[in-house]
Amino acid sequence: MQLRKLGRTNFDVSAVGFGGIPIQKVDEKKAVELIKASKQNGINFIDTARAYGRSEELIGYGIKETGRENWYIATKSPARTYEAMKKDIDISLKKLNIDTIDLYQMHNVKTVEAYEQVMSSSGALRALKEARAQGKIKAIGITSHTLAILEDAVETGEFATIQFPYNPVEPQAEGIFKRAKELNIGVIVMKPVAGGAIRNVEYSIRYILENTNVSTVIPGMDKVEHIRANTAVANDLRPLTDEERQVIMTEAKELGTEFCRRCGYCAPCPQGIDIPSQFILEAYLTKYDLEDWAKERFNGLDKTAHDCIECGSCEPRCPYDLPIRKMMKRVSENFSK
């Protein structure tokens, strides 16, 4: 596995890391199997979060089985205040069952107001710096889906890493990644296949890792075969050929910008609709020539886009500011034809 320096942390991390969102859906036995497979295939960097259900706990079981010395562990919290972040750091340590967390990140700082709050004297950053001085964490990072937030953050000198979406359909962070490299700040790439919207996973990961400003990319993986396939890319990293680049850029162009990344932050829906699943099934209906299959699955759901009352409670939670109500109306119309 190719190793890359994670900025000023000086951690030599695997170019492909383990993204901890989907592991929350498996049981303890499967979680241990996934962490073992990650180690066997060269991964040494794990990224999780307080907000990912049982992810920290399940990863903790895997760390115990494989040896703490084999891992760089990153987690994150959406806490914005000093007291809330201080509490979450201790919870993360307990859930992961480790003494020190290598990288603790402020999670999804989306707005100027949130950024000003975390950076204030009573904000989350103070708790993180205190925990670092106490040896509870080693380095501090920040994640966002808002480019302007990171453009400010990298200039403060407070952060060892940044984390942002990057893939062939979302290349807008290339400038900030270059600036981060100049400032010796590590770059962690989330959403490497746009939440599953990009079908050609290998080409997308190769596209990302061609960028030498990227430290590590963290696809979410809940199957051993996904781990083997994704690590194989970094174990034999080759630049895209002209033909391969054309394939992945054509796919990116077809996706456009108004699509769901399946992060799940829109939940819960007051009507009980699984919002991301609506868009997945719509793609099968309209793009992948699986009309009968998609309609059968859609009609088998208890709640669908037909039940959307356009309350809008989901939209402020979407990190991509998608017009979910408009998109749900489109899904309903497509499945009514």
Tens digit of each residue's pLDDT (9 = 90 or more) over 91-124:
999 999 999 999 999 999 989 999 999 999 999 9
Classify residue 269: in a domain, yes or no: no
Structure tokens given for 229: 């396939």
Q: Are residues 238 and 295 in the same domain?
A: no
pLDDT confidence bin for 262, thresholds 50/70/90: confident
Model confidence over 204-219: pLDDT tens digits?
Answer: 999 999 999 999 999 9
Tell whether the model's pLDDT for residue 160 goes beyond 90.
yes
Q: Name the β-bridge partners of 142.
A: 106, 162
DSSP H or E stretch at residue 227: helix 224-235
63, 71 Cβ separation under 8 angstroms: yes
| CB within 8 Å of 27: residues ≥ 6 apart | none
- Are 244 and 295 contained in the same domain? no
145 and 288: one domain? no
- Residue 53 is assigned to a structural domain of this protein: yes
Give the residue-averaged pLDDT of 64-72: 97
- Residue 310, number of CB atoms within 10 A of its CB: 10
Displacement of CA 96 from its chain's centroid (Å): 18
Final residue belonging to a domain, choices 249, 283, 303: 249
User: And the tokens for 315?
Assistant: 């939209």
- Answer yes or no: do 239 and 296 share one domain: no
Residue keyed to tokens 């990644």: 177
Q: What is the pLDDT of residue 25?
A: 87
Q: Is residue 239 part of a domain?
A: yes
The answer to whether residues 243 and 280 belong to one domain is no
Residue 74 CB neighbours (<10 A): 32
Confidence of residue 264 (pLDDT cuts 50, 70, 90): confident
Residue 68 to residues 49, 64, 212, 270: CA-CA distances in angstroms?
Answer: 18, 7, 28, 41
Q: What is the CATH number of the domain that holds 23?
A: 3.20.20.100
64 - beta bridge partners?
Answer: none
Q: At 291, is the pLDDT very low, low, confident or very high (cuts 50, 70, 90)?
A: confident
* 241 pLDDT above the threshold of 80: yes
Residue 39 and residue 173 in one domain: yes
Tokens describing residue 153: 């953050």
**Domain that includes residue 133, residue range:** 3-249
Q: For residue 31, tell me if it sits in a domain.
A: yes
Mean pLDDT of the chain: 93
Q: Kindly state whether residue 244 falls inside one of the protein's structural domains.
A: yes
Asked whether residue 188 falls in the same domain as residue 228, the answer is yes
Query: Is 240 in the same domain as 280?
Result: no
Of 265, 303, 271, 299, the closest CA to residue 285 belongs to 299
Whether residues 95 and 193 fall in one domain: yes
Query: What's at 219, amino acid-wise?
Result: P
Rounded distance, CA 120 to CA 34, Å?
39
Please indicate, yes or no, if residue 306 is contained in any of the structural domains.
Answer: yes
Q: How confident is the model at residue 68 (pLDDT cuts 50, 70, 90)?
A: very high
How many domains would you assign to the chain?
Answer: 2
Is residue 36 assigned to a domain?
Answer: yes
> Does 212 lie in the same domain as 143?
yes
H runs (alpha helix) in 75-200: 82-96, 112-119, 124-133, 147-153, 174-182
Q: Does residue 288 have a pLDDT over 70? A: no
Question: At 279, phi and psi to the nearest 5?
Answer: -75, -30
Residues 64 and 208 in one domain: yes
pLDDT tens-digit profile of 29-41? 999 999 999 999 9
Does a structural domain hold residue 163? yes
What is the rounded CA–CA span in Å between residue 106 and residue 125? 8
Residues 67 and 154 in one domain: yes
Place of tokens 């060269």: 42
Domain end (from 232, 249, 266): 249
